Amino acid sequence: MKPEYKSIVVELSGQVATIRIRHPKMPGGDIHWDLGEVFSELRGTDEVRVIVLTGTHDGVFSVGPLTEQYDRQQDPGNDRNDPHRHWHTFTGLVRCHEAMAQIEKPIVAKLNGDAFAFGASILFGCDLIYGRPDARVADIHLALGELEPYGSRYGIVPGDGGAVNLPLFMAPTLVKEYLMLGRVFTAQELADMHVINGVVPADQLDAHVDDVVARLLKRPAYALAWTKRVANRHVVDQINRTVDAGAGYEMVSFLQAERQGWKDRTEL
């Protein structure tokens, strides 16, 4: 595996690859690009049959930037609309969603804590999802600081995938409440709604996911891989219809906000 990933840690053990998302305060890296790269790389690694996606810190799966960090990024001297920066981020997130859906290896999410922003988007790109009951899941693009200290006070299109996979899990009214009003769900609520596979007390989560992985590895390798590929045809179709549009509209949001100086944009 490539050693230069800064936003994630990749651990290989037998036929299992564990990807740990670094805490948002860790410097460097672009999680969109890094995850797109690592999933693409793992797809061609026959020695790996199952992937586990989790956070590196207890209580945090992946939550995006802190509000004050995001606000500082909007300083006049900070050009968020640098073409290379947009290319790197948005191409990375598209590749990430495509690779997660198309890789012939089951991806098991171990939701060890809060998943906000892109963390929530990739959570719903996993094939099996287990979490601690109190973990929170939310899209913060339009939350307008209501989930401080995380997120943005400005409001942008949830283009990193929030509108891509979630319509496969929830009714349209719930999806729009989640995206437009920044509704927060706990993992317990999502399990009760049959959106995720289940919740496990925090001190039992590692053992539970280990058991799930062991059971997957008992299945014939080729049959398991092709089963995911067949089962995910509708997921791939959904990604093809939506992810580029979402990324494009989010870029437009940045351009509009930059032109208006990140001021109030509540009028058309």
Asked whether residue 3 is assigned to any structural domain, the reply reads: no
Q: Which range, 54-63, 71-80, 190-199, 243-252, has the best average confidence (pLDDT)?
A: 190-199
Lowest mean pLDDT segment, chosen from 90-99, 160-169, 258-267: 258-267
More confident residue, 55 or 25: 55
Q: Supply the CATH number for residue 205's domain.
A: 3.90.226.10
Is residue 1 in some structural domain? no
Say what the pLDDT of residue 129 is. 98
Task: Answer yes or no: is 2 within a domain.
Answer: no
Q: How far apart are CA 99 and CA 202, in angstroms?
A: 29
Q: Is the pLDDT of residue 73 over 60?
A: no
**246: Cβ–Cβ under 8 A, 6 or more apart, which residues?**
157, 158, 159, 160, 161, 162, 163, 164
Distance of CA 76 to the CA centre of its chain: 29
**Is 138 a member of any domain?**
yes
Specify if 46 maps to a domain: yes
Domain span including residue 147:
8-259
The verdict on residue 91 lying in a domain is yes
Q: Check residue 140 and give its pLDDT.
A: 87
| In a domain? residue 267 | no
The tally of domains found in the chain comes to 1
Residues 132-153 have pLDDT tens digits of: 999 999 998 888 777 777 766 6
The model's pTM: 0.91
Q: Cα–Cα distance between 10 and 96 in angstroms, integer?
A: 15
81 pLDDT higher than 70: no
Whether the predicted pLDDT of 162 surpasses 90: no
Q: What is the pLDDT of residue 76?
A: 46
Position 264 in a domain: no
* Per-position b or e across 77-88, b if 16+ CB within 10 A of its CB: eeeeeeeeebee
